[in-house]
Amino acid sequence: MRRALSRKPRDQRTKAKGLRLFVAGVYGFLFAPIVVLVLFSFNDSKRNATWQGFTLRWYNELFHDGPVLDALFLTLKIAVLATILATIFGALGAYALTRYKFRGSGLYNGAIYVPLVIPEIVFAVALLSGFNAAGIIPSFKTIIIAHVAFMLSFVIVVVRSRMAGFDRTLEEAAMDLGANEIQTFVYVTLPFMMPGILAGSLLAFVLSFDDFVITFFNSGVGNTTLPLKVYSMVKFGVTPEINAISVFMLLVSSLLLLATYKLQGGPPTITVRAPGEE
Residues 53-71 pLDDT 10s:
788 888 888 888 888 889 8
Percent of the chain with pLDDT over 90: 24
Q: Is the pLDDT of residue 146 over 90?
A: yes
Q: In the structure, what pLDDT confidence band is assigned to residue 217 with cuts at 50, 70 and 90?
A: very high
Q: What per-residue confidence (pLDDT) applies to 2? A: 52
Q: What per-residue confidence (pLDDT) applies to 48? A: 67
Where along the chain do its domains lie?
Answer: 65-265
pLDDT, tens only, 230-272: 888 887 776 777 888 888 888 888 888 787 777 765 444 433 4
Cβ atoms of 161 and 196 closer than 8 Å: yes
Q: What per-residue confidence (pLDDT) applies to 270? A: 38
Q: In the structure, what pLDDT confidence band is assigned to residue 167 with cuts at 50, 70 and 90?
A: confident
Q: In the structure, what pLDDT confidence band is assigned to residue 35 with cuts at 50, 70 and 90?
A: confident
Higher-pLDDT residue of 77 and 189 is 77
Q: What per-residue confidence (pLDDT) applies to 155? A: 92
Fold category of 65-265 in CATH: MetI-like fold (1.10.3720)
* CB-based contacts of 227-230 (< 8 A; 24+ apart in sequence): 227/75, 228/71, 229/67, 229/68, 229/71
Mean pLDDT across the chain: 82
Higher-pLDDT residue of 216 and 17 is 216
Task: Using CA atoms of 21, 25, 26, 29 in order, give the dihedral in degrees to the nearest 10.
Answer: 170
Q: What per-residue confidence (pLDDT) applies to 6? A: 53
